[in-house]
A and B are shown apart, each in its own frame.
Chain A
Amino acid sequence: MIQLRSVTKKYKNSYALKNVNLDILSGEFVFIVGSSGAGKSTLMKLLYKEETPSSGTVMIGGINIANLPSDKVPNLRRCMGIVFQDYKLLQNQTVYDNIAYVIRTLGISSKEINARVLGALKVVGLSDKMQAKPSELSGGEQQRVSIARAIVNGPPLLIADEPTGNLDPKNSLEVMQILDQINQRGITVIISTHDNAMVDYFRKRVITLDKGEVVRDIQAGTYEQ
């Protein structure tokens, strides 16, 4: 599903990623780990085309998105769900509207939108909070809303950049369990994190980055080994 070949990302005088080669298959659950500045976020940004590699190819579903014209980027992003550390919710809109926002822009009927949003809310266990504003929810709940928004369009791929970075261990576990459930439905899940407890708990594929290079890639691995 995803192939990175000789990907290098260089900022003025430093390398964020250096000659990265990766293959992620459809339906996999992958942790990208590493210390701060290791290049995790840059790698995630390359996947949703927020950044463009200095060299190399980033193939998603057979398309090299490194060459994707800017007007096609929204199409790419609608084919994937993205979850951020700071949730990125529209504060003046309800939970329901936050989740429905993107699919509304596609011209889908209100009936269909309603069915999809209720389905996504059910997956994250927030059916009773659909009329609440994000400010009325806990951090864990806000992250769950953001996950519901990410899956509402039924994407084959979900990218989560430090999804538990702002959460306590209990909420972190809940969020990770939801992401695991989503993966079990066949959606490819890629999570960047430095939450070693979660990585150790779930025992999934772990790709470790250090100074922009892949130094370890282990199936059913832990944070350290």
Chain B
Amino acid sequence: MNNSKQQIKKKVKKHIPKDWLLELRIVYRIVMETFNDIKRTGIVNLVIITTMAAILTIFGALFRTTLSVSAFAHELGNVLEISVYLKPGADANAVTKRIKKIEHVQKVKIIPKESSWSDLKRGIDIPDIENPLPDTLHVKIDKPQNINEVFGKIKSLSVVADMSYAQELAKKIQFLNQVVNTTTVFVVIIVAILSITIINNTIQLVIQSRKDEIEIMRLMGVSNWYIKIPLIMQGALYGFMGAVVALIPLNIVQNMLTNVHKFFMIPNPLFASNIVIITIFFVGILFGAGGSFLSIKKHLQV
């Protein structure tokens, strides 16, 4: 029964000439409908776009700062080294080979005791005595959080007399990284809640002001999606416009941070500006459309 119905449908479809422009016209009319809705919202549009821009600016600035702080932390982490003092008579080259095999070790540099001694004598006035310094190895680690693990492994070697590293600095960098990451997560959550709430309320107002019109459209057989899509696009457009406006203050923030990077001679994170711009547009459009969608689900009975 169902099969025969489907066959009849197929046959009927075959005989109807396909109008390829049909879908394009529908898309065009939905877009026009969206712009009409925005036009009718009037001055309220400015308030919503400004608010969205402010939220996205705060988010964008913090996100950009996060990228910079991460770059700083990474850079400082790179300069962290463990100094390993070898026992007299130990073969520095053999120890270096063994240490290089340890996980997370990036580089090992041998500082011969003669070199250390001459450096020391150059800095301070020391009487002419026998060199008391041991051979030293400078061990570079991939990430600050791995220092403790590598430190323990090297210390267990029998040829090692003593070791040292900037433990406090490593801890501080690790802590700063954690704080920045946690703050970013919180900011994303707050931005999501704020922008969704604002768009949600705006679209609710639009739905209420157009209640009669939507009712008529529904009764006349206008498709549900034809009623819904312009409202979702309106929310998404608020997010997009908010992101466009946010580009102006964000540009200032980007320039300031670039100067900070230059001052400390730490390279700007790769593509930081582009990443921030793409992210605020993505967040703005996603949360704008999302807020609108939630409002439609709650307030639009079609």
Binding site for B on A (CB under 8 A): 48, 50, 70-71, 73-79, 82, 84, 88-90, 101-102, 104-109, 149
Contact = CB atoms under 8 A, between A and B. Distances in A.
Contacts of B220: 77-78, 82, 101-102, 149
B223 A74 contact: yes
Interface of B: 19, 21-26, 29, 213, 215-224, 226
B25 A107 contact: yes
A220 B23 CA distance: 47
Nearest to A155: B221
Contact of B221 (A88, A102, A107): A102
Nearest to A80: B221
B44 to A, nearest CB: 17
Contact of A74 (B21, B23, B215, B221): B221
Nearest to B222: A105
Given A74-B224, A107-B19, A109-B21, A88 B219 contact: yes
A88 B218 CA distance: 11
A15 B184 CA distance: 59
B222 A101 contact: yes
Contacts of B223: 74, 105
Nearest to A48: B219
Contacts of A73: 221
B104 to A, nearest CB: 57
B252 to A, nearest CB: 42
A139 to B, nearest CB: 17
B219 A77 contact: yes
6 contacts: A71-B224, A73-B221, A79-B221, A101-B217, A102-B222, A105-B26
Which 8 pairs across A and B sit closest by C-beta, in order of nearness? A77-B221, A78-B221, A107-B22, A107-B26, A107-B25, A74-B221, A102-B220, A105-B226
Nearest to A88: B216
Contacts of B19: 107, 109
Contacts of A101: 217, 220, 222
Contacts of B215: 88
Contacts of B217: 101-102
A75 B223 CA distance: 8
B216 A109 contact: no
A20 B74 CA distance: 79
Contact of B216 (A48, A70, A90, A107): A90
A175 to B, nearest CB: 19
Contacts of A74: 218, 221-224
Contacts of B21: 107, 109
Contacts of B221: 73-79, 102
Contacts of A48: 219
B216 to A, nearest CB: 5
A105 B214 CA distance: 14
A102 B26 CA distance: 12
Given A77-B219, A90-B213, A90-B216, A109 B224 contact: no
B83 to A, nearest CB: 72
Most interface-central of A70, A89, A102 (chain B CB within 10 A) = A102
Given A90-B213, A107-B26, A50 B226 contact: no
A112 B223 CA distance: 20
A182 B56 CA distance: 57
Given A78-B221, A79-B221, A82-B219, 19 more contacts: A73-B221, A74-B221, A74-B222, A74-B223, A75-B221, A77-B219, A82-B220, A84-B219, A88-B219, A102-B220, A102-B221, A105-B26, A105-B223, A106-B26, A107-B22, A107-B25, A107-B26, A107-B29, A149-B220
Nearest to B22: A107
Contacts of B219: 48, 50, 77, 82, 84, 88
A104 B29 contact: yes
A50 B272 CA distance: 55
Contacts of A82: 219-220
B222 A109 contact: no
A179 to B, nearest CB: 18
B37 to A, nearest CB: 12
A5 B222 CA distance: 29
B57 to A, nearest CB: 36
A33 B218 CA distance: 26
A24 to B, nearest CB: 20
Most interface-central of A50, A73, A76 (chain B CB within 10 A) = A73
A74 B215 CA distance: 12
B250 to A, nearest CB: 39
B29 A105 contact: yes
